[in-house]
């Protein structure tokens, strides 16, 4: 509570009425706890019904300072407009609670001005005091006008600063727009560069994959070529070795068979030999061998190879039997020939799922079925695979096969000759 001079009832009523107006304008959260019930009163009843709580709240600094700020603001506005704080416009309006000096006293009391008692008009003012009060009121008006001018100047300065800030804001927005445009163009260029890089990367990846495929294909071709070269080398070595063994065995067997005497004639003794008769040995190369005995003689030569056109022979000798029985009977007979002559025997048949026989054939006879070709072509390939100089005997009655075999240096025997030889087994 204030310990200063006693506040006159008129001034106290003036302060309570103004505090009631300020309380009606406050937000609910800003209302002091002791005035919350008063704030719920009707506006016309707050100053009368809530006078006690309002006057008690004015003794506290927070609420008194809030009311003082509102009083100063309204005083400046009222002076500028020629209005009373609680009344209307013009000089004919009588302020509530007393003369205008009472308002000056109320403002001084709210500002904690110690001179406020001097501003309170007496109960019955004398005529001599009217001029003093008018002088003080004029001074208050001058002060209010000065404050108004200062407020107008501050407002103008604030407007100038606002305009400058708006110009700066427009400039910053323009700079931001340019920056966004440049960023957008940079993003577009970056996207184009990225797309080009992706296309180049995809092209490089495709080229790499193509190179890998070509390398893989080249490796496959290289391996195939190496395998073919290896097989060709092995075949050449086998042919040379077989030819060499054939020549050596043939020479040794011929020397032993003929029992050649020591050389008793020299080249000079044979300068003019008598004309020899044109003798052609039966069974020479390029002629058919009709004698089964001559066939045995040929097959006993070292490393002789007998190639048989299977179905051509079996159908010639025992064509009335089923095909599997024909094959078995032919192979069994060839096994006996191979055992007696020591020759290599290969029998070729047409058409099976695999080149090898299903099993159960006699040992010592190589049985082959043609796959993807006829037996005639298989026989031709077998003849061409043999080295020149080896004794190769082809048994067939097919004239085309016979011509091709003789052209490749093989002996050709009719199928009937081999059938006759098998019947003597």
- CATH of residue 398: 3.40.50
The reply to whether 13 falls in a domain is yes
Instruction: Report which of 315, 336, 339 is spatially closest to residue 327, judged by C-alpha positions.
Output: 315
- Most distant CA atoms of the chain, gap in Å: 197
**What pLDDT digit, counting tens, does each position of 367-383 carry?**
999 888 999 999 999 99
Cα separation, 364 vs 161, whole angstroms? 120
Is 116 inside any structural domain? yes
Domains held by the chain: number: 2
Q: Which residue has the higher pLDDT, 269 or 164?
A: 164
State how far the alpha carbon of 39 is from the alpha carbons of 1, 11, 19, 22, 163, in Å. 22, 22, 11, 10, 41
* 4-13, 28-37, 395-404, 415-424: range with highest mean pLDDT: 395-404
Q: How far is CA 359 from CA 328, 387, 408, in A?
A: 11, 30, 32
Residue where a domain terminates, one of 125, 148, 176: 125
Higher pLDDT, 403 or 138: 403
Q: What is the 3-state secondary structure (H, E, C) of the chain?
A: CCCCCCCCHHHHHHHHHHHHHHHHHCCHHHCCHHHHHHHCCCHHHHHHHCHHHHHHHHCCHHHHHHHHHHHHHHHHHHHHHCECCCCCECCCCCCCCCCHHHHHHHHHHHCCCCCHHHHCCCCCCCCHHHHHHHHHHHHHHHHHHHHHHHHHHHHHHHHHHHHHHHHHHHHHHHHHHHHHHHHHHHHHHHHHHHHHHHHHHHHHHHHHHHHHHHHHHHHHHHHHHHHHHHHHHHHHHHHHHHHHHHHHHHHHHHHHHHCCCCCCCCHHHHCCCCCCCCCCCCCCCCCECCCHHHHHHHHCCCCCEEEEEHHHHHHHHHCCCCHHHHHHHHHHHHHHHHHHHCCEEEEEECCCCCCCCCCCCCCCEEEEECCCCCHHHHHHHHHHHCCCCCCEEEECCCHHHHHHHHHCCCEEECHHHHHHHHHCC
Closest CA to 393 of 275, 321, 302, 295: 295
In a domain, 80, yes or no: yes
Give the N- to C-terminal CA distance of the chain in Å, as an integer.
155
Angle between helix 61-81 and 9-25 (nearest 10)? 90
Note the pLDDT of residue 232. Answer: 85
**Is residue 152 included in any domain, yes or no?**
no
Domain boundary among 81, 104, 125: 125
Angle, helices 100-110/128-258, rounded to nearest 10 degrees = 50
- Which residue, 86, 107, 125, sits at the end of a domain? 125
Q: Please report whether residue 95 resides in a domain.
A: yes
Q: Decide if pLDDT at 212 tops 90.
A: yes
- Its domain, for residue 62, covers 9-125
- The pLDDT value recorded for residue 255 is 55
Specify the pTM.
0.38
Q: Per-residue pLDDT tens for 305-330?
A: 999 999 999 999 998 999 999 999 99
More confident residue, 247 or 384: 384
- Whether the CB-CB separation of 110 and 62 falls below 8 Å is answered with no
pLDDT value at residue 266 = 40
| Residue 342: pLDDT over 70 | yes
* pLDDT for residue 91 is more than 70: no
For residue 390, being part of any structural domain is answered with: yes
Question: Is it the case that residue 252 has pLDDT exceeding 50?
Answer: yes
Check if the beta carbon of residue 388 is closer than 8 Å to that of residue 409: yes
Say how far apart CA 23 and CA 197 lie, in whole Å. Answer: 73
Residue 94 in any domain: the answer is yes
Is 307 part of any domain?
yes
Q: What pLDDT shows up at residue 4?
A: 65
**For residues 339-375, b (16+ Cβ closer than 10 Å) or e, as one string?**
eebebbbbbbbbeeeeeebeeebbebbbbbbbeeeeb
Q: What percent of the chain has pLDDT over 90?
A: 37
């Amino acid at each position: 509570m204030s310990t200063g001079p006693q506040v006159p009832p008129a001034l106290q009523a003036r302060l309570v009425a103004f505090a009631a107006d300020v309380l009606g304008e406050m937000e609910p959260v800003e209302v002091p706890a002791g005035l919350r019930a008063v704030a719920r009163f009707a506006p016309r009843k707050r100053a009368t019904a809530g006078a006690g709580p309002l006057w008690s709240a004015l003794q506290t600094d927070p609420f008194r300072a809030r009311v003082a700020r509102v009083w100063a603001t309204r005083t400046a506005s009222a002076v500028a407009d020629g209005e009373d704080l609680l009344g209307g416009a013009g000089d004919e309006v009588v302020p509530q609670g007393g003369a205008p000096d009472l308002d000056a006293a109320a403002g001084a009391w709210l500002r904690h001005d110690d001179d406020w008692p001097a501003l309170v008009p007496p109960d019955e003012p004398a005529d001599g005091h009217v001029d003093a009060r008018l002088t003080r009121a004029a001074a208050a008006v001058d002060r209010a006008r000065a404050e108004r001018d200062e407020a107008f100047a501050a407002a103008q300065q604030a407007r100038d600063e606002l305009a400058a800030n708006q110009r700066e804001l427009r400039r910053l927005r323009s700079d931001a727009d340019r920056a966004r445009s440049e960023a957008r163009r940079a993003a577009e260029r970056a996207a184009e560069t990225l797309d080009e890089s992706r296309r180049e990367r995809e092209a490089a990846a495709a080229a790499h994959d193509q190179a890998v495929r070509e390398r893989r294909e080249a490796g496959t071709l290289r391996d195939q070529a190496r395998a073919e070269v290896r097989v060709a080398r092995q075949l050449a070595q086998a042919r040379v070795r077989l030819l060499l063994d054939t020549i050596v065995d043939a020479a040794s067997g011929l020397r032993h068979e003929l029992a050649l005497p020591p050389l008793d004639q020299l080249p000079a003794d044979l300068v003019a030999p008598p004309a020899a008769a044109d003798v052609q040995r039966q069974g020479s190369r390029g002629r058919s061998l009709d004698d089964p005995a001559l066939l045995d003689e040929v097959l006993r030569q070292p490393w002789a190879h007998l190639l048989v056109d299977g179905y051509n022979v079996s159908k010639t000798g025992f064509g009335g039997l089923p095909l599997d029985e024909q094959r078995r009977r032919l192979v069994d007979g060839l096994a006996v020939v191979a055992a007696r002559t020591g020759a290599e025997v290969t029998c070729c048949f047409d058409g099976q799922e695999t080149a090898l026989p299903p099993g159960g054939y006699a040992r010592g006879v190589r049985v082959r079925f043609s796959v993807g070709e006829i037996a005639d072509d298989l026989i031709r390939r077998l003849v061409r695979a043999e080295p020149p100089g080896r004794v190769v005997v082809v048994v067939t009655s097919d004239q085309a096969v016979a011509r091709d075999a003789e052209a490749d240096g093989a002996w050709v025997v009719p199928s009937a000759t081999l059938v006759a030889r098998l019947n003597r087994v």
